[in-house]
Chain A
Amino acid sequence: MSDLTASGRAALIAFAALLLVLPWVVSSYVLSVAVICLYLAYVGQAWNLMLGFAGLLSIGHALFVGLGAYASGYLFAKYDVPPAIGIVAAVAIAMLMGAVIGYLGFRFAIGGVYFALLTIAFAEFVRILLEHAKFLGGTQGLFLPVSQESRRGVDLINLRGWPEMYYYVILALCLGAFVLCRALLESRVGYYWRAIRDNPEAAAAVGVDIFRFRMYAVVLSAGMTGAAGVFRAFYDNLLFPDQVLNIEKSIEITLAPIVGGVGTLFGPIFGAFVLTPLSELLTDVVEGLKDLGIIAKNVKTDGAKLLFWGLAVVLIVLFKPTGLWPWVCRRLGLVKAPGARS
């Protein structure tokens, strides 16, 4: 954190301290919102590794969440394999899928928007497969057995326990992803990714094997996202293909980094903590209006959230295309002048 100013360091410490004590000072509802924030910050970080670091746009990232969730969930429901072991399978399957998509995309030079379409195609394809896979519950859903007593205590092997435990698990994942991404950015692979992102032809001219390093980015991002799927599975305890890996979920994953700042390390975290509470608030307001009878009970309001997301992205693209975080940094003087990317 050498590039932080004094106020930047203070802000970071305050934020870290707040995150650490949060479960002890807020209601269970706020805690559940915080879990969503951290979850989206984590998957946002993984997604950002592809677009922000290596310049590869994925709009099918829920695919990897789904694969991780179904792999670990199925192993647990069917064979009692604890998630501590199931996560290995989950991450491996997600990475394999990432490798397949990457191979097809990069070998056949499917670039830019077409690569993004490829990721959507795979996500939809796997969703439909899952809907027809009887052994995984199909459209009926896959249920993970959970008993009342297992909702208390702390069992990290089986990912069972207090809501607070889930909070700390996702917080740890978030921190791990942050530290990993930071280290990657400072290393050879990080330099190569950013070079490829900015100019593939020039990167190749200085000896960078573009295919190989793009593969690393997709596979690593897919693996990280697969791990998030394990968390999803054991936090929700029921999985429907339509809910876990529909395109809406894939888009949700992209929002926090886009709003926070693509290519920055704090962007996905910042974006998640700005967007999620607003999104929750919106849902509450809409529900409230229904209760008051201002909106008729039978009006479908599922679209409100999508509308909000769309608006958020439009505003960002129009006014702060590099994201809120770099702007906030500059405004509050959190980072020293050169090397504003933090």
Chain B
Amino acid sequence: MALLEVEGLSKSFRGLRAVADVSFTVEEQGIVALIGPNGAGKTTCFNLIAGAMRPDAGTVRLSGADITGLRADRVCDAGIGRTFQLVKPFQDLTVLENVTVGALHKSATVAAAKRDAARFLDLMELSDKLHMHAANLTLPDRKRLEVARALATAPKLLLLDEVMAGLRPTETDRMVAALKRLVAETGLTILLIEHVMRAVMALSHHVIVLHHGEKISEGTPEHVTQDPAVLECYLGEGAI
């Protein structure tokens, strides 16, 4: 059984079909990429899976259990962690406190949560900024904070929404390495939205392509990048 099964997922905003009848599965342990031009419906997909929005139609299953339309905190309980493309740090808390909130999801005590939080912050290379207020971080650091906070909830499935935007190539490589190590060591599964093709190629073994809310292609990175439908949608946008 696949870890995540999405079937016929749809969502419209005032007539605009942001996600239209999208189906895909994510197998356990590995990294799957969700790509597509701006406005393709990727973030909306995440919001529907993570319970931030209710789908108009379709189902979401995690390890076979139906989690469609559950509240966001229940989805987290079920084992899905997520980051926000438009970062949402707890502004007045320190970096350590931000991640501690996430770690409290699994830790019995605040002290234990702080220890866990420090570990994930180390992984995301934020160890030297533990006591800074989140409001004072640079954007790339806030993205790292998002990842650390989501990781701290010890999810089975982690949804990452453009967390490498703004990172330098060397930093991207380090984040890629850290994520790969996590997957190998902890059996974590990652579904990530990414524009940085370098990261997509290096990380994922499977790629899903959305365009105008619809899934237009999926397969290995090599397959997808040669798919005429994909090339057309990207070249049409003048991108890639």
A interface residues with partner B (beta carbon < 8 Å)? 186-188, 191-192, 194-195, 197-199, 201-210, 263, 338-339, 341
B97 to A, closest residue via Cβ: A191
Interchain CB contact under 8 A, A207 and B84: no
List the B side residues contacting A207 at CB < 8 Å. 73, 76-77, 105, 153
B91 x A198 contact (CB < 8 A)? yes
Which B138-196 residues have C-beta < 8 A from chain A? 149-150, 152-153
Identify whether the interface residues of B are mostly helix, strand, loop, or mixed.
mixed
Which residues from chain B contact A210 at a C-beta distance below 8 Å? 73
Contact, CB under 8 Å: B90 / A195:
yes
Bound complex: CA of A198 vs CA of B133, how far in Å? 12
Say yes or no: is B50 at the interface (Cβ < 8 Å to chain A). Answer: yes
Q: Which residues of B contact A203 (CB under 8 A)?
A: 90, 101
B121 CB to nearest chain A CB (Å): 15
B100 CB to nearest A CB, Å: 6
Q: How far is the CA of A338 from the CA of B94 in the complex (A)?
A: 9
Q: Is the CB of A339 within 8 A of B94?
A: yes
- Residues of B49-95 at the interface with A, using a CB-CB cut-off of 8 Å, are 50-52, 71-73, 76-77, 81-82, 84, 88-94
CB of B73 within 8 A of CB of A208, answer yes
Whether a CB of chain A sits under 8 angstroms from the CB of B104 is yes
What 13 new A-B contacts, CB under 8 Å, besides A198-B93, A206-B102? A187-B110, A194-B92, A194-B101, A198-B91, A199-B91, A201-B72, A201-B88, A206-B150, A206-B152, A206-B153, A207-B76, A207-B153, A209-B73
Kindly state whether residue B131 has any CB partner on chain A within 8 Å: yes
Residues B110 and A205 in contact, CB atoms below 8 Å apart: no
| Complex alpha-carbon distance, A338 and B136, angstroms | 13
A202 and B73 within 8 A (CB): no
A205 and B76 contacting across the interface, CB-CB below 8 Å: yes
Identify the interface centre among A187, A191, A205: most chain B CB within 10 Å of its CB: A205
Whether B92 lies near A198 (C-beta < 8 A) is yes
Given contacts A205-B76, A206-B76, A208-B101, contact A199 B89 (CB under 8 A): yes
Asked whether A263 lies within 8 Å of B92 as measured between CB atoms, the reply is: yes
When chains A and B are docked, how far (Å) is the Cα of A206 from the Cα of B73?
6
Shortest A24–chain B CB gap in Å is 41
Q: Within 8 Å CB of B150, what residues of A?
A: 205-206
Measured CB to CB, the closest approach of chain B to A50, in angstroms, equals: 16
Complex Cα gap A198–B110 (Å) = 19
What 1/0 flags go to B91-131 for Cβ under 8 Å of A?
11110010011101100001001000000000000000001
User: How many Å lie between the Cα of A197 and that of B50 in the bound state?
Assistant: 21
Q: Which residues of chain B are within 8 angstroms of A341 by Cβ–Cβ distance?
A: 92
Contact (Cβ within 8 A) A186 B110: yes
Closest to B105 in A: A207
CA A100 to CA B49, docked complex, whole Å: 32
Do residues A205 and B101 form an inter-chain contact, with CB atoms below 8 A?
A: no
Residue of A nearest to B92 (CB): A198
Q: Identify the closest chain A residue to B159 (Cβ).
A: A205
B72 A188 Cβ-Cβ under 8 A = no
Indicate which residue in A187, A194, A338, A339 contacts B90 across the interface (CB closer than 8 Å): A194
B152: which A residues are within 8 A, CB to CB?
206
Smallest Cβ-Cβ distance to B109: which chain A residue: A188
What CA separation (Å) do A201 and B51 show in the bound complex? Answer: 10
Q: Given that A199-B88, A199-B89, A339-B94 are known contacts, is A204 also in contact with B101, CB under 8 Å in the complex?
A: no
Interface 1/0 per residue, B198-236 and A, CB below 8 Å? 000000000000000000000000000000000000000
Q: Is the CB of B52 within 8 A of A206?
A: no
- A276–B100 Cα distance when bound, in Å, is 38
* A65 CB, min distance to chain B CBs, angstroms: 29
Residue of B nearest to A187 (CB): B110
Can you name the residue of chain A whose Cβ is closest to the Cβ of B104? Answer: A188
| Chain B proximity of A107: nearest CB distance (Å) | 13
Q: Which residues of A contact B88 (CB under 8 A)?
A: 199, 201-202, 205
| Distance between Cα atoms of A204 and B150 in the complex (Å) | 11
**Can you list 7 A-B contacts with CB-CB less than 8 angstroms, sorted by A residue number?**
A202-B88, A204-B51, A205-B50, A206-B149, A207-B76, A207-B105, A208-B73
Most buried by A among B72, B88, B131: B72
CB neighbours (8 Å) of A195 from chain B are: 90, 93, 101
Q: Out of B52, B72, B90, name the residue touching A198 (CB < 8 Å).
A: B90
A212 to B131, CA, bound (A): 29
Task: List the B side residues contacting A263 at CB < 8 Å.
Answer: 92
CB pair B84–A202 under 8 Å, yes or no, is: yes
Instruction: Find chain B residues with CB under 8 A from A188 CB.
Output: 104, 110
**A197 to B97 Cα, complex, angstroms:** 14
For A263, the closest partner residue in chain B by CB is B92
Known contacts A194-B93, A198-B93: A205-B77 contact under CB 8 Å: no
Give Cα A161–Cα B82 distance, bound, in whole angstroms. 59
The 6 closest A-B pairs by CB, nearest first: A207-B76, A338-B131, A202-B88, A204-B72, A198-B90, A207-B105
Cα distance, A188 to B100, chains bound together (Å): 9
Chain A neighbourhood of B50, CB < 8 A:
205
A263 to chain B minimum Cβ distance, whole angstroms, is: 7
Q: Which residues, 19 to 68 on B, are CB-close (under 8 Å) to A?
A: 50-52
A321 to B227: give the CA distance in the assembly, Å: 56
Chain A residues with CB below 8 A from B76, complex form: 204-207
